[in-house]
Chain A
Amino acid sequence: QSALTQPASVSASPGQSITISCTGTSSDVGGYNYVSWYQQYPRKAPKLIIYEVNKWPSGVSNRFSGSKSGNTASLTISGLQPEDEADYYCCSFAGGSNLVFGGGTKLTVL
């Protein structure tokens, strides 16, 4: 049950696109198409933005998109906006009823 690996930080300018990676193992990310992504503002609860690798919950912008290749999942945010500045966490199903999160990535919109 080791945490998934994410870059600590990424940054880009408004209007640009960024991709955050999330690397696990064949026991979690690589073994199931059950990767979700969460956005979290400081001192707020997380918000689901992607589930089952590439599906959007109702009300979430399609500027957020997800993908997966092997043991690595990715979140892409296109057309960056200032309000996208937040922490982002990946999460994978890991068998049984276990879940494992990534360490989080701080996105700075310059």
Chain B
Amino acid sequence: EVQLVESGGDLVQPGGSLRLSCAASEFAFGAFWMAWVRQAPGKGLEWVANIKGDGREKDHVDSVKGRFTISRDNAKNSLYLQMNSLTAEDMAVYYCARDLGWGRIDLWGQGTLVTVSS
């Protein structure tokens, strides 16, 4: 089955770090742009970062630049999000997603919850 499965969400203290992972199955992972999209409790969707299939191009939303880093390992069919200096504003469900280009996101994971609290 074509799917994305996120893991790594947890309760972390403000200022802490967390690494999210996303395992892709049954499609040519390395051929696709991939993205992380988050949704704070009761709020809307927010694009966080994306990365080209070969990993050579990537970008992040301004609010996480310098703190979060998207990366991928095509040999492991895996996408990652390293999150440092976490704040309460980063608390959200984080979705891994396949981006066919220009916002055409056709495949989503089930999401993983990141809670930032002392």
Give A contacts to B, CB under 8 Å.
Answer: 1, 3, 32, 34-36, 38, 40, 45-48, 51-52, 57, 89, 91-93, 96-104
Complex A-B, nearest 6 residue pairs according to Cβ-Cβ distance, in ascending order: A34-B102, A45-B108, A104-B44, A99-B47, A51-B104, A93-B102
Give chain B interface residues in 7-30, CB to chain A under 8 Å: none
The reply to whether A97 and B50 form a contact with Cβ atoms under 8 Å apart is yes
Residues of B within 8 A of A101 (CB): 37, 44-47
Q: Which residues of B contact A46 (CB under 8 A)?
A: 37, 45, 95, 105, 108
Instruction: With both chains docked as a complex, state the minimum distance between the C-beta of B9 and any C-beta of chain A, in angstroms.
Output: 14
B: which residues have CB within 8 A of A?
A: 33, 35, 37, 43-47, 50, 52, 57-59, 61-63, 95, 99-100, 102-106, 108-111
Q: Could you say which residues of chain A place their CB within 8 Å of the CB of B35?
A: 99
For the complex formed, measure the closest distance between the CB of A24 and the CB atoms of chain B, giving whole angstroms: 12
In the complex, given contacts A46-B45, A91-B45, A99-B35, what are 17 additional A-B residue pairs having Cβ atoms less than 8 angstroms apart?
Answer: A3-B44, A3-B46, A34-B102, A36-B102, A38-B105, A40-B45, A46-B105, A46-B108, A47-B108, A48-B105, A89-B44, A91-B103, A91-B105, A98-B47, A99-B103, A100-B47, A101-B46
Interface pair B110/A45, CB less than 8 Å apart = yes
Tell me, rounded to whole Å, the shortest Cβ–Cβ distance linking B112 to chain A: 11
Q: How far is the CA of A91 from the CA of B102 in the complex (A)?
A: 9
Question: Which residues of B lie under 8 Å from residue A57 when comparing CB positions?
Answer: 106
Q: Which residues of A contact B33 (CB under 8 A)?
A: 97
- Complex: A1 Cα to B99 Cα, angstroms: 19
Q: How far apart are A91's CB and chain B's nearest CB, in angstroms?
A: 5
Name the residue on B nearest A34 (C-beta).
B102
| Cross-chain contact B104 with A36 (CB below 8 angstroms) | yes
Given A34-B102, A96-B59, A99-B103, A45 and B44 touching (CB < 8 A)? no
- A52, A97, A104: which contacts B45 (Cβ < 8 A)? A104
Judging by beta carbons under 8 Å apart, are A89 and B47 in contact? no
Q: Are A52 and B105 in contact (CB under 8 A)?
A: no
